[in-house]
Amino acid sequence: MAFPEPKPRPPELPQKRLKTLDCGQGAVRAVRFNVDGNYCLTCGSDKTLKLWNPLRGTLLRTYSGHGYELL
């Protein structure tokens, strides 16, 4: 009985922490990066979205006013 060849494993992603962003949003519910990694968007239990430059660790803009907790 022949078994199929094992598939090669995908390369491991880096596990090194480069920056820590102090979001001040309570529990951070989600983080999304753009394709280039130049921006990231966080959403938290404080009902805000925050746009960041993750390379510099700087907050670019805060979006608020919708009244609901973000997931």
Identify the pLDDT of residue 1.
67
CB atoms within 10 A of CB 45: 13
Name the nearest CA neighbour of 69 among 49, 47, 50. Answer: 47
pTM of the full predicted structure?
0.69
Q: How many CA atoms lie within 13 A of 36 on its CB side?
A: 4
Q: What is the pLDDT of residues 34-66, one digit of tens each?
A: 999 999 999 888 888 999 999 999 999 999 887
- Residue 36 DSSP code: T
CA dihedral (36, 65, 25, 43) in degrees, to 10, reads: -40
